[in-house]
Structure formats: structure tokens, C-alpha cells
């Protein structure tokens, strides 16, 4: 399977714990995006990488959230001191990055439940 993969697919944690999610984009894709989707809503942008550079961060991404893409390949999204409001589906997408309007390919998402 050469699509975007995310790990884990599901995560249940207690409030106050730290969690880390991983996204592996399609191998030749330069751009990588993180989105968050709460129940009944469309996804919301969190952050975006061009290769290893984090080019934009949403105001939704509080100081408890950090994302990295150290070698321009896979990316991690860490949430520290989780809160119940962090419960959501975290989606990763990647795109080739050669044009401004290239198609984004989405991973299956990581569903986070904070108890």
C-alpha cells in the first residue's frame, strides 16, 4: 500500500497524559498537512510542512501541540497534557507540492479519545 498511513488508528488516553501520532506520507510528496475533525464537523487546518520546514500553524495549535517532520519524510504530532476537548479525529494529508493546486491525499486518521 503506497498511500498515506497513520499510526495509531485509535488512541484512548486519560486527561493529562501526553500522546504522539505518526504520519507517513506518500514517498515522493513534499507537502504534509495535519487537520483535526470533531464529530459532525468538517476538518480544520492545524499545520503544514514543506519538506522539513513547518510553514504555517493554526491558532488552534496551542502550546500543548507540537509537530515535527525532521527529515522531510514522516511527521509526528504530539499533544501534551491532553484535555477532553482534544478528543477528535486527527487527519494527515500529503501532496506532491509542485503546483499550488495539487491534490491532497488523506490518511485514514487517528481517532483520539481523552477520558
Stretch that binds another protein, among 21-29, 64-72, 77-85, 88-96 (CB under 8 A): 88-96
Backbone φ/ψ region at 60: left (φ over 0), alpha (ψ -120 to 50), beta: alpha
- Contact (CB, 8 A) for 65 and 18: no
The nearest distance, CB 31 to another protein, in angstroms, is 6
- Contact (CB, 8 A) for 3 and 94: no
Interface with another protein, residue 56, by CB under 8 A: yes
Q: Which residues sit at the interface with another protein, rule CB under 8 A?
A: 31, 33, 35, 37, 40-45, 48, 50, 55-56, 89, 91, 93, 100-101, 103-106, 108-109, 111
Amino acid at each position: 500500500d503506497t498511500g498515506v498511513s497513520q499510526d495509531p488508528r485509535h488512541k484512548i488516553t486519560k486527561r493529562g497524559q501526553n500522546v504522539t501520532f505518526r504520519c507517513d506520507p506518500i514517498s515522493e510528496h513534499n507537502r504534509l498537512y495535519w487537520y483535526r475533525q470533531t464529530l459532525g464537523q468538517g476538518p480544520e487546518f492545524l499545520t503544514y510542512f514543506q519538506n522539513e520546514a513547518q510553514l504555517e500553524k493554526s491558532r488552534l495549535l496551542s502550546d500543548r501541540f507540537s509537530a515535527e517532520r525532521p527529515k522531510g519524510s514522516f511527521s509526528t504530532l504530539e499533544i501534551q497534557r491532553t484535555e477532553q476537548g482534544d478528543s477528535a479525529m486527527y487527519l494527515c494529508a500529503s501532496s506532491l507540492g509542485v503546483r499550488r493546486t495539487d491534490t491532497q491525499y488523506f490518511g485514514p486518521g487517528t481517532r483520539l479519545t481523552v477520558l
